[in-house]
Amino acid sequence: MHFEAKWYARSEPLQSVVHFIKVTLKELGWNDGTEDLVMDVGCGPGKVTTKWVLTLFQEVEKIVALDYLSSMIEKARTLNAHPKVEYHVGDFEGGSTTENWKGQVSKMISIHCFNWFKTQRESFLTVYDLLQPGGEVALYFELHSDFFSALEEITYSEKWKSFFQGIYNYVPESNRKKYDSSHYRKMVEEIGFEVRFCQSELKVEDVVSDDAGSSFVEDVEDES
């Protein structure tokens, strides 16, 4: 499995992501636009950051956008540069690259990122340390999916497992252990967060067109 920056740069955000930003966050009051420092964790090639997140904070002084992969940040700086957005390569899970913003972040957002972390509790602790007093964080990530379950099944298949060595590392702990939202509510409340909204929902995503689906398959085949 690869996280190719060119695929992410070409694609549009899922409708569930757009709903999370345009509806859910606004219902939580994330639309005053006067924040000092906003952080986007797992920004990818920056399209969601500049085209969607920034619209919530039009008067923000700065958005710090982080991604673990340098290829994502290279694409972001090339394709989605913005004077209010500062892109950085950073290992958020490790925490060592975020010390400069400790206690300074007023709002933090992360979309489809926390499910990849292997040490989620430590990552939530990093969030807690980065937020200023009264700061808020909104996370949107996958708990379970048929895709992850299929990866698990492949690792047990005598026929196929030799072709997919290491693929199990891409299956989130939440999928393996069947976590629901109550697991995360309890975890973050123990850390010290006040939870305003926490729930798990079933989302079914549709490919916007046959061309979009076939284009993705063609890209994968080109890389193989």
Tell whether the model's pLDDT for residue 217 goes beyond 90: no
Dist. CA 89–CA 186, nearest whole Å: 30
Share of the chain above pLDDT 90, in %: 46
Task: Supply the pLDDT for residue 210.
Answer: 58
- Per-residue pLDDT band for 224 (boundaries 50, 70, 90) equals very low
**Predicted pLDDT at 216:** 42
What is the arithmetic mean of pLDDT over 18-41? 88
pLDDT tens, position by position, 18-27:
889 999 998 8
pLDDT of amino acid 219: 45
Statement: residue 28 has pLDDT above 70: yes
Please give the mean pLDDT across all residues of the chain. 83
Answer with the residue of higher pLDDT: 158 or 129. 129
* pLDDT over 60 at 214, yes or no: no
Q: For the residues 182-206, what does the mean pLDDT come to?
A: 86
Higher pLDDT, 93 or 1: 93
Task: Give this prediction's pTM.
Answer: 0.80
Q: Calculate mean pLDDT across residues 29-34.
A: 80
pLDDT digits (tens, 9 = 90+) for 47-105: 999 999 998 988 899 999 999 999 999 999 999 999 999 999 988 987 778 999 999 99
Look at the block and give the residue holding tokens 């006067």: 34
The alpha-carbon radius of gyration of the chain (Å, integer) is 18
